[in-house]
Each structure stands twice: as C-alpha cells, then as structure tokens.
Chains A and B, each alone.
Chain A
C-alpha cells in the first residue's frame, strides 16, 4: 500500500482565497482524522470520520473550515475564505477501528496564506 496520500504537498495562497486539501486514506481503514500543526498549538485534531461519517468536529476552529468524506477513499478539508493565521501544516491520518491509537499519517500539506 502507498500509505496515506495528501495533496498538494505545498500550497501558497492569498488571503480571502478558497483552499482545498485532499486526502486518500489507506485502503481498509475506517477512521480518518484531520490534524493541524503549528508552533504555538502543536498537533491538534480538527475533525474525524468513522465509515465516512463525521463523528466529532469540535476541533474545527471556525465556520470557515469544512470537511467532507464522500467515500471511503477520499476526504477534503476546505478553508473559505483563508486567512494568514491558517498558515500551518495540515495532516491527514487513518486507522482501523480496533486500533485508533495506531494512526498512519500522510506527509502533510504545508499551507501558507499571505
């Protein structure tokens, strides 16, 4: 398996623009997690899905953030409109339901909003 795939790896955009981050989890994994890493806050959970259904989105910072999982092999995290404070590395991770502590992370998307 190729592991968790994220695209793009780097994204530079201007304030006010829409940004869409993409994730393909490992086949067979039924949990998917979106995280954000910043120097100030470390690695924080934004939202997670079980069998494509959002379970907990309490970590999503504002209504500008939204996430979808239309099928078992694809998820998106959208920021609209983007702001400079959204600049961070965004990670997607997936796991089996019986071992949600063992998550497999993608390489991350480094987002810069100018």
Chain B
C-alpha cells in the first residue's frame, strides 16, 4: 500500500523549458512534503520542502505546489538545465518523524 505515489517513472524535457514532476499521497496526516534529488552512485539530496499548512514554496528555479484537497503536490523546475537530469523522489513526513518516499521519477533534460 503506497502512501506516496509517483506515477511517472520517467520524464524528458527540453533544456530551458519547464519540468513538472507530480506526486500523489493518501495520508492526510502528513505534516511536511519533500523533494529529494538523486544522482547515480550517490545518496539522495534534500531539495525543497513544503509545510502542510502552505500551498507554495519557492527556492530559486524550484517551486513546490501543494493541493491538499486533491492530495497532490508537484515540483516545477524553471528553466530546466542539463544538471537537473537525475531521479527525483517525492516524500512525506508522518507525525512520528518517518519519511515515506515515492519510487522516484527519472528526469532527462534534452539538449
């Protein structure tokens, strides 16, 4: 039973365009939602977070949107750059501090 779902295993986007990665969740008790980025042979790296009481958080080229009624969040990367090619994990924190990860979306930025 997946509490955090990333339905797109992969996504290809032209360099300079917007990348949109999507994520759905089932547990309404999550208090923080997160995005982690992972390069091959490295551990995941924290990218951006959003509290459950907000609907948008922006950090440079990265913006996360939260739609609580739809139990949906998305990560926007504008403009996309070659270094953004990686696997992106959506995650959520439960009240007991556990982080539940999605299975990831592989983003390919095309030249």
Using a CB–CB distance below 8 Å, which chain A residues touch chain B?
4, 31, 33, 42-45, 48, 50, 55-56, 91, 93, 100-108
Looking at chain A's contact residues, the main secondary structure is: strand
Give chain B's interface residues, CB within 8 Å of chain A. 32, 34, 41-46, 49, 89, 91, 93, 96-104
Contacts of A91 in B (CB 8 A): 43-44
A33 CB → nearest B CB, Å: 8
> Given known contacts A101-B32, A101-B49, is B43 in contact with A108 (CB within 8 Å)?
yes
- Assembled-state Cα–Cα distance A55/B98 (Å): 10
Which of A43, A48, A107 touches B101 (beta carbons < 8 Å)?
A43
A58 to B51, CA, bound (A): 26
Contact at B101–A56, with CB atoms within 8 Å?
Answer: no
Identify the closest chain B residue to A41 (Cβ): B103
The distance in angstroms between the C-alpha atoms of A93 and B36, with both chains bound, is 13
Report the minimal beta-carbon distance from A95 to chain B, rounded to whole angstroms: 9
Q: Are B98 and A42 in contact (CB under 8 A)?
A: no
CB-nearest residue of chain A to B47: A102
